[in-house]
C-alpha cells in the first residue's frame, strides 16, 4: 500500500496564535500536494525560553489554539494530522510536552507525552534542563491510523532505541521523531540516529523538525527527513527555515525489509555477566 506523507519544517516563534496560522499555511500546502498524513515539529505552538512568559500563555487541551486549529484542519482537509508536540498545561499545574494525532474526521486519535527529558550539558556552555519545566510521560504509544500503525516519539527520545524497538515489536510500520534538535547535537548525531532507528526496526521514519534562529534566541538544526526501512533518505530539508517535505511510501517495504533482516524475530534474551578485571601485572582483582 502506497501513501503520500509530509513532514512540515517550521521556525516557530513565541506567539501561539501566530504559530497556529503558520502551521495551518504549511499543512494546507502539504494537503494540496496530496499528503494524507502530515507531521509538524516538536513545540509547534511555541518556542519560548522565558519560563514566566511561556506559562502566561499556556492553556489546557480544550483551549489550546494549536489543538483546536489542528482538529479543524484535519477535518477540513480530510487528512491525518500529527502535531509533533506543543506545550500543554496539565490539570495538576505541571506542563506536558504533548503530541497529538487527529483523524480525517477531526477526532482525536491519541496523545503522547514525551518520555525522555533533555537534561544535558554540552560544549561551549550550552546547557538544557527540560525536566525543570516539563513533566515526563511514562507510556509509549502505537496508533492504528487505518493506512498503517504509527509509533510515537519526540526529539530526545530518539537516543533511546528500546522505545522504538518496543513500538516495532508491537507492529509499528512508521516511526516518528518530531523534533527541535539543537544545532550542536544535530550536526553531530541527527542523521545517524534517525537512520539507525529506521534500519534496526525495518520501519519508515518521519521526522519533522524546527529549523533556524528563533525569536527566543535559540537555534535549531532542521534537516527534517523521511527515511525508508533500509535507511535510505527519501526526502530531506535544509538547515534553516520552513519547508514541506513530501514522499510516497510503500508500506509493503516494511515486511520486505523485516524478511531480509529479521532482527525483530532473531532477538534473544540473555544474561549479562560482570567479569572481574585484572590488576597491573596480571593478578586478578
CA dist 101 → 66, 182, 238 (Å):
12, 25, 25
pLDDT of residue 183: 93
Q: Is 155 in the active site?
A: yes
d(C-alpha 36, C-alpha 32), whole Å: 10
pLDDT of residue 79: 98
pLDDT of residue 283: 58
Q: Is 114 in the active site?
A: yes
Residues 6+ apart with CB under 8 A from 218: 47, 49, 182
Q: Is 42 in the active site?
A: yes
Which one, of 128, 76, 74, lies nearest residue 101 by Cα?
Answer: 74
pLDDT of residue 128: 73
pLDDT of residue 97: 96
Grid cell of 25 as nine digits: 499555511
Q: Which residues of 160-198 are buried (b: 16+ CB within 10 A; e: fewer)?
A: eeebbbebbeeebbbbbbbbbbbbebbeeebbebbbbbb
Answer whether CATH 3.60.110.10 is correct for domain 2-266.
Answer: yes
Residues 6+ apart with CB under 8 A from 62: none
pLDDT of residue 75: 98
pTM: 0.94
Residues 6+ apart with CB under 8 A from 111: 61, 98, 99, 100, 101, 141
Local confidence pLDDT in tens for the 285 residues of the chain: 899 999 999 999 999 999 999 999 999 999 999 999 999 999 999 998 787 888 888 999 999 999 999 999 999 999 999 999 999 999 888 899 999 999 999 999 999 999 998 877 888 887 878 887 889 999 999 999 999 999 999 999 999 999 999 999 999 999 999 999 999 999 999 999 999 999 999 999 999 999 999 999 899 999 999 999 999 999 999 998 999 999 999 999 999 999 999 999 999 999 999 999 877 666 555
pLDDT, one tens digit per residue, over 211-269 is 999 999 899 999 999 999 999 999 999 998 999 999 999 999 999 999 999 999 999 99
d(C-alpha 260, C-alpha 83), whole Å: 33
CA dist 189 → 167, 219, 279 (Å):
22, 16, 36
Which one, of 192, 251, 224, lies nearest residue 84 by Cα?
Answer: 224
Residues 114, 141, 242, 243: which is the catalytic one? Answer: 114
Residues 61, 141, 155, 243: which is the catalytic one? Answer: 155
Residues 42, 61, 167, 242: which is the catalytic one? Answer: 42
Amino acid at each position: 500500500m502506497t501513501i503520500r506523507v509530509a513532514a512540515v519544517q517550521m521556525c516557530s516563534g513565541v506567539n501561539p496564535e501566530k504559530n497556529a496560522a503558520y502551521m495551518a499555511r504549511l499543512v494546507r500546502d502539504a494537503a494540496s500536494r496530496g499528503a494524507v498524513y502530515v507531521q509538524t515539529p516538536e513545540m509547534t505552538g511555541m518556542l519560548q525560553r522565558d519560563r514566566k512568559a511561556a506559562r502566561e500563555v499556556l492553556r489546557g487541551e480544550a483551549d489550546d489554539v494549536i489543538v483546536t486549529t489542528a482538529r479543524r484542519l484535519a477535518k477540513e482537509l480530510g487528512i491525518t494530522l500529527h502535531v509533533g508536540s506543543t506545550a500543554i498545561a496539565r490539570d495538576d499545574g505541571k506542563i506536558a510536552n504533548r503530541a497529538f494525532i487527529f483523524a480525517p474526521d477531526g477526532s482525536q486519535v491519541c496523545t503522547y507525552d514525551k518520555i525522555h527529558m533533555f537534561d544535558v550539558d554540552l560544549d561551549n556552555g550550552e546547557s538544557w534542563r527540560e525536566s525543570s519545566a516539563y513533566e515526563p510521560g511514562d507510556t509509549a504509544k502505537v496508533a492504528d491510523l487505518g493506512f498503517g500503525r504509527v509509533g510515537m516519539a519526540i526529539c530526545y527520545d530518539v537516543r533511546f532505541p528500546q522505545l522504538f524497538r518496543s513500538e516495532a515489536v508491537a507492529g509499528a510500520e512508521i516511526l516518528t521523531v518530531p523534533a527541535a534538535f539543537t544545532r550542536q547535537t544535530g550536526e553531530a548525531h541527527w542523521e545517524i540516529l534517525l537512520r539507525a532507528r529506521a534500519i534496526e526496526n525495518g520501519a519508515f521514519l518521519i521526522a519533522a523538525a524546527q529549523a533556524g534562529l528563533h525569536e527566543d534566541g535559540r537555534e535549531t538544526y532542521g534537516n527534517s527527513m523521511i527515511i525508508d526501512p533500509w535507511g535510505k533518505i527519501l526526502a530531506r530539508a535544509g538547515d534553516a527555515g520552513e519547508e514541506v517535505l513530501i514522499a510516497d511510501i510503500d508500506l509493503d517495504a516494511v515486511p520486505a525489509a523485516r524478511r531480509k533482516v529479521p532482527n525483530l524475530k532473531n532477538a534473544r534474551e540473555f544474561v549479562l555477566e560482570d567479569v572481574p578485571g585484572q590488576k597491573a601485572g596480571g593478578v586478578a582483582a
